[in-house]
Amino acid sequence: MGTKDAPLKKICLICAKGAIEDVYATLILGNGAVMEGMEAKLFFTFFGLDAITKKQMKKLKTATIGNSAMRMPGGLAFPSILGMLPGVEAGVSAMMKKQMEDLDIPAVDEFLEMITAGGGEIYACKLAMDMFKLSKDDLHDEVKGVLTVGEFYEMAGGEGTQIIFT
């Protein structure tokens, strides 16, 4: 982490989950970094690839099972077992997307464009791409390339760099 003597200059974010809350944490942090003038590199792996895959990026859902922080209106804890019922995940996801829209939070593809317009770079994980049988053509146009983990870490190195796993 940056200090007064060595300020944070570069942030590298790794997104491995495809739930709305995980993807947006990565996008908001990445966009905030470029807005602050930092170098930002975002790396999407495993289910995080859904955020940068053309066919999936508009279909992200909220994790309703096993999400201990989820609350119902009024602040009561959301019983995880309810997430198993048909339509609950879709309803919760729609509600969350509506709240984000009301706050004028950009859609995933708009966020990707904002980040790259600000100088940020977006990458996909080669191993995950191979596992899910995806090609570069399956990815959003803002994705700069497909990298191995080693290539990403090499790019991430240097003093004043923070790597964050969201």
Band (4; pLDDT cuts 50, 70, 90): low
Three-class DSSP category at 102: helix
**What's the whole-model pTM score?**
0.86
Interstrand relation of 39-44 and 121-125 (parallel, antiparallel or unpaired): parallel
Domain count, the chain: 1
45 is a domain residue: yes
| CATH at residue 137 | 3.40.1260.10
Position 108 scores a pLDDT of 95
What's the domain range around 57?
Answer: 10-64+82-155+161-165
110 is a domain residue: yes
71 is a domain residue: no
> What's the length of the chain?
166
User: Tens digit of pLDDT for each residue in 54-85?
Assistant: 999 999 988 777 666 777 777 766 767 677 77
Contact 23, 106 (CB under 8 A): no
75 is a domain residue: no
77 is a domain residue: no
The rounded percent of the chain whose pLDDT value lies above 70 is 89
User: Tens digit of pLDDT for each residue in 107-120?
Assistant: 999 999 999 999 99
